[in-house]
């Protein structure tokens, strides 16, 4: 049932190590370049991107809870991340009228511009790191 086959297990382990290596390399490059060139962390960019991609193009706002399901962060980490974005003027927190416990995170104009500016850097890093070493 479970996979006691040593060969399978070995390939699984090497797959995992490869995943770790790719993740570390990309995360490191992304954090560095986004950070020093646009003042954004990797997760900050991720959240801005999700907001831009938000279906309601007019408001570009999402519930904190929805964001929480998209980025791989605890709810508390996300709350503080939104706090940082808000302090930087990139998003706004607006109360949700239907459910006054909820908070809409709304992308500001500055937030959109910051995202557009950072996007090429983000894509360039992905292209540079992720395609490295898999020519086939």
Partner DNA sequence: TTGCATTGAGTGCACGTGCATGTAATCTCT
Partner DNA sequence: AGAGATTACATGCACGTGCACTCAATGCAA
Q: Give the interface with a copy of itself as residue ranges (CB under 8 A).
A: 2-3, 9, 12-13, 15-16, 19-24, 26, 72, 123-124, 126-127, 130-131
Q: Which stretch binds DNA (CB under 7 A): 4-12, 13-21, 63-71, 120-128?
A: 63-71
Residue 76 binds which entry of DNA, a copy of itself, none, with Cβ cut-offs from 5 to 8 Å by kind? DNA
Among 17, 23, 32, 37, binds DNA (CB under 7 A): 32
Total number of residues binding DNA (CB under 7 A)?
A: 26
Residue 99 binds which entry of DNA, a copy of itself, none, with Cβ cut-offs from 5 to 8 Å by kind? DNA
Residue 45 and residue 122 in contact, taking contact as beta carbons nearer than 8 Å: yes
Residue 70 and residue 58 in contact, taking contact as beta carbons nearer than 8 Å: no
Instruction: Establish if 129 lies at the interface with DNA (CB under 7 A).
Output: no
Interaction residues for DNA, span 82-111 (CB under 7 A):
82-84, 93, 96, 99-103
Listed in sequence order, the DSSP H helices in 39-135 are 42-52, 64-70, 75-87, 109-130
Number of Cβ within a 10 Å radius of residue 91? 27
Bridge-based pairing state of the strands 103-107 and 61-63: antiparallel
Residue 105 and residue 68 in contact, taking contact as beta carbons nearer than 8 Å: no
Tokens 């709350």 correspond to 79
| Chain residues that interact with DNA, rule: CB under 7 A | 32, 41, 43, 63-65, 68, 72-77, 79-84, 93, 96, 99-103
């Amino acid at each position: 049932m479970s996979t006691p086959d040593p060969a399978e297990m070995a390939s699984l382990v090497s797959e995992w190590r490869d995943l770790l290596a790719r993740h570390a390399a990309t995360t490191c490059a992304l954090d560095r370049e986004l950070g020093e060139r646009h003042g954004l962390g990797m997760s900050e960019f991720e959240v801005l991107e999700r907001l831009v991609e938000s279906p309601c193009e007019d408001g570009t706002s999402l519930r904190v809870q929805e964001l929480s399901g998209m980025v791989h962060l605890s709810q508390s980490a996300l709350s503080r991340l939104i706090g940082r974005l808000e302090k930087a003027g990139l998003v706004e927190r607006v109360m949700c009228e239907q459910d006054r416990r909820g908070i809409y995170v709304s992308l500001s104009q500055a937030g959109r511009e910051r995202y557009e500016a950072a996007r090429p850097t983000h894509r360039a890093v992905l292209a540079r790191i992720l395609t490295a070493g898999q020519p086939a």
